[in-house]
Every structure is written in C-alpha cells, then in structure tokens.
Structure 1
Amino acid sequence: MARLAPISRNHAQSQSLNQVQPLLKPVYLALSQPFKGKTSVAEESVAVLDPTVFNQPLRPDILHLCVVHHLDSLRQGSANTKTRGEVRGSGIKIRRQKGTGKARLGDAQSPMLVGGGVAFGPKPRDFSTKLPRKVIEMGMRVALSAKVQERKLGVVSQLSWPQGKTKHLAQKIDHLGMRKTLFVTGLSKPSATLERAIANIEKVKLITTEQLNVYELLKWPRVVLDVKAVEYLERTYKKDVPFTPTPTNS
C-alpha cells in the first residue's frame, strides 16, 4: 500500500494551476458584404464567434447520425398493399380439388394469381428514429465548425432587401458570388420583401434559425448567417467554457 507523503502549500498551488483548463480562443471572421449598403466591407468589421459552437473537432460519426435521423423523419411510410383478405372478390373455390390435372387452387384472392392479394407486402409505418438531444446539439456544433474550417461560412450584419423584385436581387447575388448559398436569419419571420424576392432565385434558399438543422448545413456548399442568427446559435448551443476576452481598440 502506497504511503501518503505531506506536500507543501506552494506545491499544492502549482498542482492546482496545472489542472486548470486552458482558455479557448474565440473565432474571428470578417463580415461579408450585405445585399444592400456599402459596396465594400471595412477591414475592422469582424465577427467574434464562440469557440464552443464554431470551433469544435470534426466528428463524421455524429454528422452521419444526425443526417440519418433527419432523413428518416422525412419518410412518409404511406405504402400500403392489400392482403388476400382485403382484396375484393368472391371466396368461392375456382375449380374442384381433384380430377382436372391442374394445380389445386382456392379463391381468386390467392397471392399466386394475378389480381390477388400481396403476401408480406408493405403496410403504413413510422420510419422516424430517436436520437438524444445532446447528440443533435453536438451535430450542430460540428457542422458549423466544419463550415468555418472549410471557409464556407459567412456572417453579414443583416439580411434585408428594399424591394420584392427578383431580378435585381439575383443580379446582386451573382455579383457577390453567392449562388448555391443557404441564408439563415435570426428573426422569427424574415423580411417580407427579401422572402418574396429570393423565393424564385435558383440555387438559393432563405430560412430561419428554427428551421436550421445539420442536414441543411451539410447540403448547401455555403452558409451565410446574419448577426441575430449567430446570437441565437451561440445562445442555444454554447457550452460554459471560459475563453480569452476579445481585445478592444482604445
């Protein structure tokens, strides 16, 4: 049995300091150019992102679980076939049992006959699967972090458009190179003019943070969030881990 030796106070303090978790560094991301406003973004316009949400290690297994869980929930499960007891028709025997030289048959609803019932066919069922809430939250952190690492995540000050014309907004999106982009707003309801203008633009989609999931993050090559969306995601998925304060210009 090992003997416990007394230790000094200074040694105990040094041991406790060694056990303190290191501070995480925040993620700095330059703001992207908005739809309307200045033609160029100032160099000092930088978004400071929570590292517990936007700087997590890549976990393909977690992403796979979340994607399968989402796709299973989309399956209708409405396929339905009729058994021999559900097919309409008479239950009389087609021909006599013996003496014809042919195979014995029962009624016309037999699965062996054309127009008969289906043996072991599909019935309505629920394909949705269960996944722990913490796994889904971890999948959101990993998916957002993967977009940051791939430099496929953008942040804008706000998502708005002054008019509901699709033509001018499509030209603006082409000018900014934001085709194949998922735009996410933190507002409960997006701007009516922006929602109407962006609805008919190909390879572009606008959703709210409540509609955002891991599947959408992985499906779209590029994701653009507004500031309110970033605040919502950090408020919902952040973990209580200290990180270094952001330096400010005096």
Structure 2
Amino acid sequence: MLGRAVHMARAVCSMSTHSLRRHGAKISSVRFIHGPQVPPAEPVSADASIGSQDDTSELYALERSSPLVHTRLTYLSPETRPQGKRAIAYVPMSSHVFNTAPHQHAMHMAVVYYLDALRSGTASTKSRSDVAYSGKKLRPQKGTGRARLSDAGNPMLRGGGVAHGPKPRDFKTDLPRKVRELALRSALSARFREGRLHVVPSLDWYAPPMSTNKLARLLSAKQWTNTLFLTAPRDPVSPVANERGSMRPSSVNLMYTDQQLTRHAQYIRHFALAQRNLPDVDLVRLHELPPHPRPRLEHAKQPGELHAYQVLEFQRIVLDMGALEWLEEKLGGSLVHQVYAEEMLRWREERNPSASDEDAFSPSTSSISESENSASSGLSSTSDTASSMQSPTPP
C-alpha cells in the first residue's frame, strides 16, 4: 500500500507539472511540496486561465528563497570609516556559503578529521624483541615442576616487553572534499545566523606596529576578544575552470598579481604584528594556505585548507572584503551569483522584451562602490538605506 501511495503521489506531481507547462506557467523558480499547506498570497503566473489550484488541491507552488543575504558593514577602527555622511552599508553575500542549513554531522566528521591530522602519533613502547635481554630460555620446559617460561623479555615478567603496545603511526583519516566544503559552509552559516560573523572593508591598522595594548582595548570594546580574522587581497583572478562553471571550484587555486600581494602585505603588516601577542585572537591569510591535499611530512601533519574546526574554534569571525571574495570563489558562491544573474536577466527579457540592456537588472550589484586604492583607504561610498539592497524575488 505504501509503494502504491508513493507511486500515485509522483503521478499527481508529474501531471500537475505538465499541466502548468501546457498553460505557460514558469516552473523553473518554484518547488513543489505535498501536504495541507497554505496557498501563496500571489499566484505564480499572471495567466488567469490556470485553474489547477483549487481549494481542495493539496499541491501548491512555493517561491524559491533568495540566493543573497546581507550583513551590515562594520569598521575595525574609526580611522577606516569614510569621511562625510555616516550611512549604514550592507554587503551582499551568497546564501549558498553563508546561509545554508548547518549540518551537524558533517561538522562533527570535519572536526574529527582535523584533529586526527594534528596527532603526532609518536607514542612508542618496546616489545619483547626490543628489550635488551638475551633470548635464552630461563629454565627447561619440563622437569622443574614450575610454570614454563621463555626468555627474560616475556611480557609477563617484570622488566619485560610490552604486549601489543603502541607504535609510531599516522592517525590521518580521509574525508571527501564535498563533506569538507559542506562542513565549512555549515560553520560559516552557523556563525552568521548567530550574529557573530562580521565584514569589514579592510584590516588597516594605522597605529604603530607593536601597539598591542591599543588593539586589545579596541577589540575588548567591540567584544571581539575571541575572534578569528580572515584576510586576502581584493579582486582575485578566477581560473579558467571556475569561469567555465566547474563543479569543483575548490580544486583550483585563486590567482593574484604581484601588485595585489605587495599592497595587501603592506596594509596587513601592522595588524599582524599587533595581534600576534593577543590570546584567543588569530589571523589567517587565506591566499597563503597551501593547497589540499598537502604532502604529509613527518613533523608537519595538518590539513592544508581553511577548515571548519578553525571557524568553530572561535566565537566570532571577522572577514575583510578580500576574504569574502575568496570564500565565495572557493565554495561556489560566485557560481550561484552568476546563475542567479542569468535567471533574472532571462526573466526580465521575458516580461519586457523591449527593455534595453542598460535597464536590465543585475543582482550582483553591491551596495558599496570601491576605488582602486580601497585596500588602504577603505570604502569610498556607502548606501543610504538598507532597503536599497533588497533583492527582488523572481515570480
């Protein structure tokens, strides 16, 4: 009976889908659910001739959630805030990277995988063949009336070898790439939903390099005492495989020019020197992470990528604009932006074919505009209101 019910439900869903397509309904941006759900307030299509959704039907079309989320732009110090009107700026981020449903089991497996890779595996004991004793039999096998014994290295004797003791070995385990990426996206999304993920224009620090006390007071005032800072240069060059829509965006490394690397190293130098003596504060240069898998040397066993454990270890995460671009490129967020832009342009052309290319909607437009020297001076302009950054949802 259960199999027959499932078969009938699939048949009803298929018939309804074909009915919507026959009447010209757009079903590319909706998903179907079963059950006593409340119908949407607005119809999916403007065609009034569609009559498949009546009061007794249990099949409704729900709109797809927006692929973009927004977070308020914060500033590390007052010197990095642009002069003039202090408007609230919101930064668009990919929902695929920063607003996915946290997968607890994937994060647990990722943490175990990371800690296994950090184990040195140097525990060692001497077996009966390693102890410095002769291999001569202690007493004859028979005739003494006592228990039989072998040599002095017998594990039953005091000073003998250890039976089945630990030996140096590698504790590394394997975890698929997709699971590692899911765990990292889950960790970032968990911090974002908790309100503990912040985005800053840059990590410019104009104080002297060794002014650790001033940075400590600033972070304490912002309640960023247990914080992981992530940084990378701006505007990475997307590899060819990623531009073509590769299904493995993390399998290729982002490329930066020498000028970008030099400029980033200059403005990050003072902050790196000031924070290195602070407890519970760490700085990760994402563009300097070695590729994965990393050759596991004898004294350097650790995962060669940003891992979910590093995100979960700290209570707050602070990203600069370069780190935000790096994460979206590596975790497939840029591909989601591209697909969403193509769908919105196609939807715009279908509704208004006479619209010019200049009036077409581009969902990747940011609420902030940055000049060429934004890496050292912060953002040049911000949006006036948060409502200007709300992305319209396709019908």
Instruction: State TM-score, norm by structure 2.
Output: 0.56
String of CA shifts for 1:16-58, please: whole Å, max 9, x gaps: x124353624111111221351579943322111111111112
The one-letter code of the counterpart of 2:228 is: L
**Is it true that 1:175 corresponds to 2:221 in the alignment?**
yes
Structure 2 spans left out of the alignment, 5+ residues: 1-10, 31-63, 234-260, 290-304, 345-362, 368-382, 389-395
Quote the Cα distance in structure 1 between the aligned partners of 2:107 and 2:151. 52
The one-letter code of the counterpart of 2:171 is: F
Distance 1:247 1:91, change over 3 A: closer
Identity of aligned residues (%): 38
Secondary structure of the residue that 1:49 maps to in structure 2? Answer: strand
Distance 1:13 1:145, change over 3 A: farther
Instruction: State TM-score, norm by structure 1.
Output: 0.85
Quote the Cα distance in structure 2 between the aligned partners of 1:13 and 1:129. 53
Higher mean Cα deviation, 219-228 or 74-83? 74-83
**Is it true that 1:231 corresponds to 2:241 in the alignment?**
no
Q: Are 1:36 and 1:161, in contact at CA under 8 Å, matched by a contact in 2?
A: no
Quote the Cα distance in structure 1 between the aligned partners of 2:77 and 2:282. 14
The one-letter code of the counterpart of 2:230 is: V
Q: Are 1:54 and 1:144, in contact at CA under 8 Å, matched by a contact in 2?
A: yes
**Is it true that 1:58 corresponds to 2:68 in the alignment?**
no
Structure 1 spans left out of the alignment, 5+ residues: none
Quote the Cα distance in structure 1 between the aligned partners of 2:306 and 2:117. 15
**Is it true that 1:14 corresponds to 2:24 in the alignment?**
yes
Secondary structure of the residue that 1:155 maps to in structure 2? Answer: strand
Q: Per-residue deviation at 1:194?
A: 1.6
Q: Are 1:36 and 1:160, in contact at CA under 8 Å, matched by a contact in 2?
A: no
Structure-2 residue corresponding to 1:213: 307
Quote the Cα distance in structure 1 between the aligned partners of 2:127 and 2:76. 59
Q: Per-residue deviation at 1:184?
A: 0.9
Distance 1:69 1:13, change over 3 A: farther
Q: Are 1:217 and 1:223, in contact at CA under 8 Å, matched by a contact in 2?
A: yes
Quote the Cα distance in structure 1 between the aligned partners of 2:196 and 2:204. 21
Quote the Cα distance in structure 2 between the aligned partners of 1:160 and 1:35. 8
Distance 1:90 1:11, change over 3 A: closer
Structure-2 residue corresponding to 1:29: 71
Distance 1:227 1:13, change over 3 A: farther
Structure-2 residue corresponding to 1:118: 162
Quote the Cα distance in structure 2 between the aligned partners of 1:76 and 1:96. 44
**Is it true that 1:196 corresponds to 2:273 in the alignment?**
yes
Quote the Cα distance in structure 2 between the aligned partners of 1:157 and 1:247. 13
Q: Are 1:35 and 1:159, in contact at CA under 8 Å, matched by a contact in 2?
A: no
Secondary structure of the residue that 2:24 maps to in structure 1? Answer: helix
Distance 1:24 1:198, change over 3 A: same
